[in-house]
Each structure stands twice: as structure tokens, then as C-alpha cells.
Chains A and B, each alone.
Chain A
């Protein structure tokens, strides 16, 4: 009767290349989201010196 080792019981970790790929995708998506939506939104919120632009953005 064979005894199981601690390594057999542990959940199998995905391969290193897969983890690296997931990390790269997460970073890429984050950068796109930040530069496309988040930063322009923050800039609009904090740096808009114009008058009336909020009226234009407000849904009717």
C-alpha cells in the first residue's frame, strides 16, 4: 500500500509560462483602461477650466 506524499495532496499550480501570460494580460488591460477611461475622467474632474462643459456632458 502506497502512502501519499504532501506534494501529491497539494493543488497543482499552473505552469510558470501560463502565470506570466496572465500577469501580462492583466497589466496590458489595466494600462489600456487607465489611459482610455480613468485618467481622462480624472483629468476632466480635476483640470477642466472651461465653463459649461458639464452641461454638455450631462445626459438629457
Chain B
């Protein structure tokens, strides 16, 4: 009997240690995996994206070009993303490289583009998912966005698209309408960001919406020109 109790005791101790190690891995070490993946994405981005700033192009010209874009392979760099308030970068210190695809495996590399949603600058809804906690926590503080903030997306052609923050909402994980064609019902091109809520749980989702500005604002935040984004790899 004593041996059985001792055995169960050891089993519980080992299980506790394994759980603790797993939590430590999730909270601290997954970020290293994402950091490495983001560096690799930055390297491919530097090779892919043309080295010309194109903010201020006419929307019509850009819309035509969007139609001609090639398919991006799952896991490849799809876009670069950052947030601004009064010319200062917020939410994340770094420019985030968005991967093509939004499976859990792909999201280990950074925010991911829902494959069935629109492209940056498209007339529909551009939907991007990102971790709130773990794997670099790219959307940890995405809830700080308020009226007047902007969401900047650079596509693989180097074009910068600026979305004005509109609203955020907490929804159920099954509310797929939020990544549908026109979730705000405004008819305007939209960006939808999805992440976990509350932090550390996937019980709900925090959704952030923005609408495309007709006249893109050229970013004034440091380190966000196409050359600077691509040049990140040299830093």
C-alpha cells in the first residue's frame, strides 16, 4: 500500500513539473521561435518587395494592380503590418510580417492572413489573425487602438495601405461573420484583426475593424518605409 501511495505521489510530482515546464515554454520560449521566423520572413521580404515607396498612388491605379497579384504560398510573407497613433508606432515595437495562411502551425511565425479573405487594398475584407499571448504575442495590446489610430499594411508590391480604426468587439469563436465580406455593413474596404480574449484563453475572440482610407497617409513613424522595413534584416 505504501509503495502505491509513493508511486502516485511521484506521478503527481512529475505531472506537475511537466505542466510547469510546458507553461514556461509557452510563455517565454515560443517567442524565440516566432522571432526567428520573423527574421526569416524579413529576409525573404527584402528580396521580394520592390525598393520603391508608393504611398500616394492613385487608388484606381492600385486597384488594377491588385487584380494582377500572384498567389502567395502558405507560410510565405504576405504583408507587413503596424499600427500608428500620431505618427508613433503602437501595439508592437516591430513591424509585423504577416504570413499567408492562418492555421495554428503557421501562426507560430507571426500574424496570419485568412486565405479566403481579401488582399490589402482590395474592395472586400482583409482578415488577419494573431496571437494575443505566446508566439511573440503580436496582438497582445491590440485593444489599445482607439478612434484616430491607423493600421498600416504594406503588400508584396511595396504599396502601403492605411486603414482607419473603426471599432472593436468581443465575439464567440464561431462568429464567422466577422471575417465575412462586409462585417461593418458600410460597404467600405475593411480590415479585420482577430485574436484571443481574454489573454491566455481562447474562450472568446477580440475583433478589431478598420476601414481603408481613400487617400493613404504616408507613414511618419520611423522604420516604416519600404526600404527601412526590408532593411530590418541588416540591423
B131 & A54 in contact (Cβ 8 Å cutoff): no
A48 & B104 in contact (Cβ 8 Å cutoff): yes
A50 & B194 in contact (Cβ 8 Å cutoff): yes
Residue pairs across A and B with CB atoms within 8 Å: the count is 64
A46 & B194 in contact (Cβ 8 Å cutoff): no
Q: Which residues of A contact B194 (CB under 8 A)?
A: 49-51
> At the interface, yes or no: A5 with Cβ under 8 Å from chain B?
no
B205 to chain A, nearest CB (A): 6
B129 & A51 in contact (Cβ 8 Å cutoff): yes
B133 & A50 in contact (Cβ 8 Å cutoff): no
List residues of B whose CB falls within 8 A of some A CB: 18, 22, 26, 102, 104, 107, 112, 114, 127, 129-135, 139, 171, 173-176, 178-179, 194-196, 200-202, 205, 207
B174 & A46 in contact (Cβ 8 Å cutoff): no
A13 to chain B, nearest CB (A): 11
B202 & A51 in contact (Cβ 8 Å cutoff): no
B134 & A50 in contact (Cβ 8 Å cutoff): no
> At the interface, yes or no: A9 with Cβ under 8 Å from chain B?
no
Q: Which residues of A contact B107 (CB under 8 A)?
A: 49-50
> At the interface, yes or no: A43 with Cβ under 8 Å from chain B?
yes
A46 to chain B, nearest CB (A): 5
Task: Name the residue of chain B whose CB is nearest to the CB of A52.
Answer: B176
Quick one: given A34-B18, A43-B104, are A49 and B201 in contact (CB under 8 Å)? no
Q: Mark A23-60, 1 if CB is under 8 A from B, else 0.
A: 00000000000100001101111111111111100000
Q: Which residues of A contact B139 (CB under 8 A)?
A: 49
Quick one: given A34-B18, A43-B104, A47-B196, are A52 and B202 in contact (CB under 8 Å)? no
A46 & B202 in contact (Cβ 8 Å cutoff): yes
